[in-house]
Amino acid sequence: MPNDKWNDEEIENLLRDFPKIQDRRPKAEVYKKLSRKERMPKQPKRWLPLLVAIVAFLSITVLVASLLQQNGTDSSSESESSEAESTMATDEAPTEQAEPPEGPGAESGGEASLAVEEPETLRTAVYESDLEDAHILRIGLAYQGYVVPASFVVPKQLAGTAEPDSLGLYENFAGQIDESGLGFDEYHPYEGELQQVGSTISHFLPDGHSYDQGSSSTLLYLNSLEETFMDLQEIRVLTEDGETAQLSHVGTVEPIVPGEQGQSFYLIESSTGDWYMAPAYGMSAGNVQEALMALPQPPNDDYRSPVPEEVSYSVEAEGAAAILTFEEPLDFEAMDGTEAMRMLESMALTAHSYGASLTVSNTVQTEWSGFDFSGELELPLSPNRIDWPEK
């Protein structure tokens, strides 16, 4: 490289040869641009929502802890108060035991205080023990040409008199029954006048009554009368003049003896979907043995058998005693409780309608739901229990 040396004079001469740079912009414009500062967009404060959430969480935590501490303090106070009251009551109690009451029943009273209530049974019929403080109002309800006996259990305080007769119960309560609400046809009270003398009841039919419109309506009427006054000895159907009534499809109506012919009890469904026990009028066998054996096969499609398909049995009759034996040991606990109860009650009702006792054998349980299989079964008095509402 050349070793040129520059002196100050040469440098000054060189700078003078450069063109002069001139800025013709107004001073105000230059000043404005120099003073203007570009505004940068502010970045969002992303930490702010997180901070708010943290503060809220801490506040709730403190509040809950405070409440829990307060409740614990209150519970502790209540517990201490209860213990104190218990201690005071113990201290104030007499130190000597009261002498046991004297006289009959003193020991049984002590046993009663320790007795445990029996579990509720699945029974649907009315039994003797159900009538200690009640009367039974049995009515033959009507449904699509069939008669279904319903047993209304009326408390004695509602009956009005100590021992009302069948007609008194019927006249006082039959008109209050909501038959359609139960799933039946509106049929009661009967047209005309009813009179009871002793154990005989007479029905005086008015002119133009609706019980002779066809064979089915006539049979429905007569079977309903029998079921409604089952506890009487005789039912008479008369004209308004007191003469024996004539019905076109049966002729002269002979006096009816309720329960003279036994009936097999099957299941029938009402319009509400509820199942009731119903006798198969005109389709039942002539003796209790055949009637019990017929239960697995309903007489038509409107009835349903109360006996489950998997259950089979045999029946022997010895005079007025029927002995039913299951072919295989029957375990009631392994069955549906409702189905098992329907089967037993249909058998018991069938035997009762023939005036026979019933013994059931070859069961796993000796007792089940109120039934004792070690001897003759307790037979129901009437089917389809319905408790009368207390007002």
**pLDDT tens digits along 94-126:** 434 333 333 333 333 333 333 334 445 789 999
| Nearest-angstrom CA–CA distance, 165 and 180 | 26
pLDDT level of residue 160 (50, 70, 90 thresholds): confident
Q: 371 in a domain, yes or no?
A: yes
Predicted pLDDT of residue 112: 32
Residue 210, token pair as written in the block = 């609706």
Residues 6+ apart with CB under 8 A from 304: 266, 267, 268, 269, 275, 298
Q: 361 in a domain, yes or no?
A: yes
Residue 345, token pair as written in the block = 């009650």
235 DSSP β-pair partners: 201, 256
Predicted pLDDT of residue 266: 98
The region of weakest confidence among 89-103, 175-189, 252-266 is 89-103
For residue 18, pLDDT beyond 80:
no
Helices (H), the chain: 8-17, 27-35, 47-92, 106-114, 156-159, 166-173, 215-228, 288-293, 337-353
Q: 120 in a domain, yes or no?
A: no
Query: CA nearest 139: which of 389, 385, 390?
Result: 385
3-state SS of the chain: helix, strand, coil percent to 5? Answer: 35, 25, 45
Could you tell me the residue range of the domain that residue 152 belongs to?
A: 128-189+261-387
pLDDT level of residue 316 (50, 70, 90 thresholds): very high
**pLDDT tens digits along 282-311:** 899 989 999 999 999 999 999 999 999 999
pLDDT level of residue 248 (50, 70, 90 thresholds): confident
Query: How close are the terminal C-alpha atoms of the chain, in Å?
Result: 132
For residue 156, pLDDT beyond 60:
yes
Q: 342 in a domain, yes or no?
A: yes
Predicted pLDDT of residue 22: 61
If one compares 140 and 102, the residue with the highest pLDDT of the two is: 140
The region of weakest confidence among 38-52, 179-193, 205-219 is 38-52
Q: 204 in a domain, yes or no?
A: no
| Nearest-angstrom CA–CA distance, 104 and 322 | 41
**pLDDT tens digits along 343-388:** 999 999 999 999 999 999 999 999 999 999 999 999 999 999 999 9
The region of weakest confidence among 17-21, 151-155, 253-257, 387-391 is 17-21
Global pTM value: 0.69
Predicted pLDDT of residue 249: 84
pLDDT level of residue 252 (50, 70, 90 thresholds): very high
Predicted pLDDT of residue 356: 97
Q: How many domains does the chain have?
A: 1
Predicted pLDDT of residue 84: 43
Q: 142 in a domain, yes or no?
A: yes
If one compares 16 and 352, the residue with the highest pLDDT of the two is: 352
Query: CA nearest 253: which of 222, 211, 207, 210?
Result: 222
